[in-house]
Amino acid sequence: MADLKDTLRSDLTTAMKAKRAFDTQVLRLALAAIANQEVSGRSARQLSRSEEEAVLRREARQRRESAQIYAEAGRPELADKELAEAELLEGYLPAPLDEAELDALVAAQLAAWPEATLKQMGQIVKAVNAEVQGRAPGALVAQKVKAALSGA
């Protein structure tokens, strides 16, 4: 179930043997973030693949936000480092959905709700987000659903 974590560990070993310090550091931080998530809460547990992906997505987003802050503060070298870390982490995530795929998912979900109005928007967004599984921003999903409901 936790094959992403195993992949990270394997790649960490490879990076250590190849003496790639940057990759080693980023992969260690990613594994630590997953381990912290596993032990948070009342009892330790094994994360599912989607939960592990969510952790990596969060870590990558934090690095992109940090890079933006560093760039605004006039520290391009730190911004570049943060962006490189984010790109490395995003390499382990499934590819994001493009506009056409997202539109198709929204259309399929709306077909299941023939009499849908804006009152059911929250339920439809929730259903689409369950299918998307983090491969598109929730705000974009909500925007697409709202546009489709308004046009209907």
- Those residues whose C-beta lies under 8 Å from the C-beta of residue 83, and which sit 6 or more positions away, are 63, 64, 67
Residue 1: what pLDDT? 43
- 107-119: burial string, b at 16+ Cβ within 10 Å, e else: eebbeeeeebeee
CATH number of the domain at 3-90, please?
A: 1.10.1510.10
Model pLDDT, residue 152: 52
Structure confidence by residue, pLDDT tens digits, 24-46: 999 999 999 999 999 998 888 99
Report the distance separating Cα 91 and Cα 1, nearest Å: 19
Residue ranges of the chain assigned to CATH 1.10.1510.10: 3-90
Report the pLDDT averaged over residues 126-138: 85
pLDDT at 26: 97
How far apart CA 92 and CA 5 sit, in angstroms, is: 10
C-alpha–C-alpha distance, residues 6 and 10, integer Å: 6
Residue 78 and residue 82: Cα distance in Å, rounded? 6
Mean pLDDT of 20-24: 97
